[in-house]
Structure 1
Amino acid sequence: MYKAIIDVTLKQSVLDPQGVAVKGSLHSLGYESVSDVRIGKRMEVLLESVTLAEAERDIEEICKKVLSNPVIEDFSYQLEEVA
């Protein structure tokens, strides 16, 4: 069994209005050193795959087809074997 930890964020070329709002709030609180904020999603998925290669194949497909919008979002993931 494998656990995938997946991060999905907007591509750098896509405006992140939520990130802009958080950055503005941080600046108003005195955190002027904050130069950028990007907001994303983090997900954990358990896979009952037999091999690491199967888990990687499945999670790539899941991310591309369901968990992200490839037009405007990037994703990254980490896989770890769990007992």
Structure 2
Amino acid sequence: MARVVVDVMPKPEILDPQGQAVAGALSRLGIAGVHDVRQGKHFELDVADDLDDDTLHRIAGDLLANPVIEDWVVTRVARDGVSS
């Protein structure tokens, strides 16, 4: 079995109200130096070792992300935690 991570983020041109809320909260807490926050989704999937990359990207684009407003990155993670 293989571990796959899919990170989904709003496209840069899409307004991110949740990220803006976090940025505002940081400012109210007196934390300076954070100029922008974007909030996304992180998925971890345990999949069959032979599941191909095209299928993983199809899963991400058809189910986990909205390709109109979100980008995604699919990463296979080795058993020792190192990305491949």
Q: Give the TM-score range, shorter chain.
A: 0.7 to 0.9
TM superposition score normalised by structure 2: 0.86
Q: Partner residue of 2:82?
A: none
Q: Partner residue of 1:13?
A: 13
* Aligned-residue RMSD, C-alpha: 1.3
Q: What's the CA shift for 1:80?
A: 2.7
| AA at the equivalent of 2:32 | E
CA distance in 1, matches of 2:77, 2:52: 10
CA distance in 2, matches of 1:81, 1:34: 32
Structure 2 residue runs of 5 or longer lacking an equivalent are 80-84
Give the number of equivalent residue pairs. Answer: 79
CA deviations over 1:36-70 (Å, ceiling 9, x no partner): 000011000111142xxx43121111011110000
Q: Partner residue of 2:61?
A: 64
Percentage of matched positions with identical amino acids: 38
Q: Is the 8 A contact 1:2 1:55 kept in 2?
A: no
State which of 61, 73, 76 in structure 2 corresponds to 1:76.
73
Between 73-82 and 12-21, the greater mean CA deviation after superposition: 73-82
Q: Partner residue of 1:40?
A: 40
